[in-house]
Structure 1
């Protein structure tokens, strides 16, 4: 278990939801915190374990239909994530994990399945699979550069008045309505894999800022070169 003074990064249900390298989000946060002298440790919470309420940043990834349904059921029963977010913890939810955060999502046959109601969103199954690179211009209120990542899902996600769109789609599908993801308070939902925080270090730093306060700058020259190469390739088509 991490020490009381450590920044706690809680990776939820890696045994159910961890596709396309989403666990890399935890590694990126831990690394970027430690490069700044912040003691950070990752707590892996398997689906048989209770979700601790003392985390600082919570992460949940993507997965297949059946593990997604099981994860939603267990998170509803557990309640620990709701209590952690209510006391101000930050969170990044990706793809299947993003859909779980809402009121409903599409099951194995497209049937509505109850989510956990943490975000004011509702998802359903779309007519075709969205697969490929995704680029999106972030809401001005977050002051982040253009997002880049990879999407592979059949979801259509509708946003209620309790959330804001995370970004406007420049290339790709995202939520299916011209926008990608959403945010409310310190909770961010997205369809971006890659993993998302490796492709978008400024988003990682936003989560860290919410959890730990102002951060010292890092030299992201190489990150930014690779990001720009990817964005140029995607947006040129």
Structure 2
């Protein structure tokens, strides 16, 4: 008997007297979007993000500048890149105004060619807003624009991101429908679940290979 026929015969004989395993696969897992009670979205998001080395903090619209100040001091960060033309950038600048001994606030208000060396070599941290987050995947939604270009969240080793709890949604489909993504996409929409990491070299996990090595999310619960 040819080898192929012999192998197939053994496989058929091995099934004699057995019963097929009942197929209890839940098709809804791939056909229906994941949903969570409103009160569980924050916990779900934090669980998934912290599992991939993201740091999260709960705070409020009024208190986040003070918390960020504490984090900058704890991490010994001498400067922070902000977008002054955004509401959160202006709020942080007002919190820092007239006070000594605080990290320098750098403003992203120049073409990258005019300060590339400083941006890449002497800007340890940045602060950006977010467009929301997805509880099902533990992902932030970043929507770079002229105020907060993509390099703000890509180049500095530490990225602080502000997230309004009211903008956390269950799943990606819900986000696209509510925000009408089909009506106008940016050149670069991003879903970010954690700091940059790779295990390409000898399968050793390293952070910061293609972007920030630390991602810190400040969740504004009263927003």
Q: Normalising by structure 2, what TM-score? A: 0.31
Larger radius of gyration: 2
